[in-house]
Amino acid sequence: MYYVDLYGDDADLFIAGLAMGNCRVATFSLYRYDPYLTFNESDWFSCKLRSATKSEKQIVKRRNILLLRACRLLTHEICHLFGIAHCIYYSCLVNGSGDLEEDFGQPLLECPVDLRKLYSLINFNICTRYEQLLTFFKMHDFLDEIKMVETKLNIIKHSTEPNSSNSSMLTKIVKRKRANKINTKKDVPLTTATVPEDEEVSETSAKHTKCH
């Protein structure tokens, strides 16, 4: 893991993450994920990291934004290490992304298709996993993710019998997913503006990059 830009070839503006599933090797860069980093499309390589705030509220918010983005990147690439390719079915953790706007719009959870793939590979209790994720998300104020997991747990607990199998849980989630429209979740509004010391931490991003 690095805190500098990475490049796959001369055409790349940067790469946030890259995995080689056959070798079980992945590399990550969190540099462009820092909400205090400012850059824009006209001067892509001119980056500036503004001074850190002394406000406890802003320190926590910056940390949580960076943690959310890092979790999304690392779990995406780890899925590749398990042999799971980019998802083309739903809004999903394993969707491919070509720029940071797409990256930040992806959910932190697998869609039913890739959840089934992951379960087939490593065999875990789906309900227990969601409960553990919910605890983690609440700990770090991942509000959108909390809503998503609570919805999934509600589907499972109200649509299956006690002690239902993982296969039954997956079937219920898939049916509910197919019945609803796909909603692409955005985390925090994007901006390329520098954040004044006394204002809220904002998302700082630009387009046209190869993310993962």
Would you name the residues annotated as active-site residues?
A: 77
Element (H, E) at 174: helix 166-179
SS3 190: strand
Which residue in this structure is represented by tokens 């980019």?
86
Residue that is written with structure tokens 């690392």 in the block: 74
Element (H, E) at 47: strand 43-49
Q: What share of the chain is helix, strand, coil (3-state, %, to 5)?
A: 45, 15, 45
Burial of 192 (0-12, 13-18, 19+ CB in 10 A): middle
